Amino acid sequence: MWTRRNEQRANYRKSQPSLGLCESIQYGLTVSGSPVRGVVGQNVTLPCKYRVNHQNDITTMCWGRGSCPSSQCSQTILWTDGRRVTERQSSRYRLEGNLTQGDVSLTIMNVAEADGGMYCCRVEIRGWFNDQKNNLEVVIEKVAAHATQVSSSVTPRWLSISSPEAPWALNVSTSVHPLEAGSRGTGMYIKIGVILSLLVLLILSLLIFAFITMAPYFILQWILMVLFTGLTVSGSPVRGVVGQNVTLPCKYQVNHQNDITTMCWGRGSCPPSQCSQTILWTDGRRVTERQSSRYRLEGNLAQGDVSLTIVNAAEADGGMYCCKVEIPGWFNDLLNNLEVVIETVAEHVTQVSSSVTPRWLSISSPEAPWALNVPTSVHPLEAESRRTGMYIRISVILSLLVLLILSLLIFTWYLHNT
């Protein structure tokens, strides 16, 4: 379902000059090995694993047709939240490994020749450019062709063959030579080393440039800090009352079904990747994981309303919350830091009676009208100020990027004339 976006990105990349390091980072780390072979009518397993040392290491991943794009999977055929399959294109696609141990190998049941081609296994690892991308080529052969290849090949293929009638035709289990997995791991480590070396050289070049031009070091440090922390929108605190429900607003724009995406809520400010102290996850259509039943998404998820409702709020619920919407593309994630203040009933009544600005509080109760059913919302001007702050920050970051590029050009000219 991401085909249109992937084509637009591909056309854009073709129209741009080669950027070396930027292209390497955009395509990420991709592991490709020897083709996985299967036989028409049998099951074939495409191996894919990631390391799980703790329960927190369990993460989302997808399988798709075609090579791995820069974000998520193209022609997605299966999604999992790391514990169970949340979406699949056909019941023929199964994950039969131990998901909690990081075994996300894809098994295709009763394969046909049309199942041949390139497949992408993408594991979403927390952090910048940490996603594990594995491109696997699948070759599906007819029974006669497969029997000829097995009988004429010198290298063992680790094929388990058995049948009472036609031993060469049935029950052919397919796996990968152990040396192939080792070569894939070696290639990944080499590529990681190359990219890290290029990043170190880039940072050193920026520091040398700042020293030569006598530019204040704190300006460069601030630029790097802004670029590496992403775009964060923070507004006025959301206030609630002990024992009542409080809603933390968070929305993103949905124009088409393809715009629906994953997001998380967490305690504390938004980190560069995913959420810290995650309390709720959704795949954009339903909640896939939550820390407590008190955390609910009562808005229209299909319209991008992922506002968090905390049922029966307590004083311990106060603090900073992070709403992070994962938008495909570079640095496109929507990060919204919301401060929550939970007041006791007495404090809330005092504030309402002494405040000049209306808080849009609906108060009703047959016994104690000042104590119960106080729904909390945000002033419309607050949402507008958040959007304005986001636009200002985007403008500032773009301006800094332009200045950085101009500075690099000046530095190159300076070296050329010395």
- Shared domain for 7 and 106, answered yes or no, is yes
Instruction: Report if residue 276 sits inside a domain.
Output: yes
CA distance 254 to 88: 22
Spatial neighbors of 384 by CB under 8 A, at least 6 apart, are none
The number of domains in the chain is: 2
User: For 107-113, what is the mean pLDDT?
Assistant: 94
* Six-digit token string for 313: 């709020």
Instruction: Report if residue 201 sits inside a domain.
Output: no
pLDDT band at 98 (very low <50, low <70, confident <90, very high): very high
Per residue in 55-81, pLDDT tens? 999 999 999 999 999 888 989 999 999
Instruction: Report if residue 259 sits inside a domain.
Output: yes
Q: Return the amino acid letter for 295.
A: Y
pLDDT at 373 over 70: no
Task: Pick the last residue of a domain from 186, 202, 219.
Answer: 186
- Shared domain for 368 and 246, answered yes or no, is yes
pTM of the predicted protein model: 0.35
Instruction: Report if residue 398 sits inside a domain.
Output: no
Task: Pick the last residue of a domain from 186, 210, 227.
Answer: 186
- Shared domain for 80 and 160, answered yes or no, is yes
Q: Return the amino acid letter for 168.
A: W
CA 48 to centroid of chain Cα atoms = 18
Q: Return mean pLDDT, the chain.
A: 75
Instruction: Report if residue 95 sits inside a domain.
Output: yes
3-state secondary structure the chain: CCHHHHHHHHHHHHCCCCCCHHHHHHHCEEEECCCEEEECCCCEEECCECCCCCHHHCCCEEEEECCCCCCCCCCEEEEECCCCEEEECCCCEEECCCHHHCECCEEECCCCHHHCEEEEEEECCCCCCCCEEEEEEEEEECHHHHHHHHHHCCCCCCCECCCCCCCCCCCCECCCCHHHHHHHHHHHHHHHHHHHHHHHHHHHHHHHHHHHCCCCHHHHHHHHHHHHHCCEEECCCEEEECCCCEEECCECCCCCHHHCCCEEEEECCCCCCCCCCEEEEECCCCEEEECCCCEEECCCHHHCECCEEECCCCHHHCEEEEEEECCCCCCCCEEEEEEEEEECHHHHHHHHHHCCCCCCCCCCCCCCCCCCCCCECCCHHHHHHHHHHHHHHHHHHHHHHHHHHHHHHHHHHHHHCC
* CA distance to 67, 138, 378, per residue, from 31 (Å): 11, 15, 47
Q: What is the CATH number of the domain that holds 7?
A: 2.60.40.10
- Shared domain for 169 and 242, answered yes or no, is no
pLDDT band at 28 (very low <50, low <70, confident <90, very high): very low
Instruction: Report if residue 412 sits inside a domain.
Output: no
Per residue in 251-288, pLDDT tens? 999 999 999 999 999 999 998 888 989 999 999 999 99
- Shared domain for 181 and 265, answered yes or no, is no
CA distance 67 to 136: 8
Residue 287: which domain range?
237-378
pLDDT at 320 over 60: yes
* Six-digit token string for 295: 């955390």
Spatial neighbors of 13 by CB under 8 A, at least 6 apart, are 23, 26
User: For 333-343, what is the mean pLDDT?
Assistant: 92
User: For 296-321, what is the mean pLDDT?
Assistant: 94
Spatial neighbors of 115 by CB under 8 A, at least 6 apart, are 38, 44, 108, 138, 140
Percent share of the chain, pLDDT over 90: 43
